[in-house]
Amino acid sequence: MDIRVGDLVRSFDFSHLREEQGRNACYVEGVVQEIVSASGCNRYKIRCTRRIVAGEVEERDIGKEYFPPVNGTPTVFGGLTSFVEKIGE
């Protein structure tokens, strides 16, 4: 799934935890502002509209920017990143 500037997305903090509710839910929701090169790879620049940590809303994080690697970026463990997904499709 191709993610583009302007898309509403959910970026999970952990690749093995993709729960949307409950104490294991940890993610950022927001709009992709641009794709930038940082820390040696391309990253989504996401402006947070909703932040969930351990299943609880973190109001203080709304408006902050997050920079997860673009899906398909090689990981240090030999896999590929896939932390970010479009919302509403």
**Average pLDDT per 10 consecutive residues for the chain, totaling 89 residues:** 92 85 94 95 97 94 96 89 88
Task: Identify whether the C-beta of residue 46 lies closer than 8 Å to the C-beta of residue 32.
Answer: yes
Task: Give the Cα-Cα-Cα angle 55, 58, 36 (nearest 5 degrees).
Answer: 105
* Predicted pLDDT of residue 1: 59
Look up the pTM and report it: 0.88
Tokens standing for 55? 């299943």
* Predicted pLDDT of residue 89: 59
* Predicted pLDDT of residue 70: 95
Go through 31-62 and write b for each residue having 16 or more CB atoms within 10 A of its CB, e for each that does not: bbeeeeeeeeeebbbbebeebbeeeeeeeebe
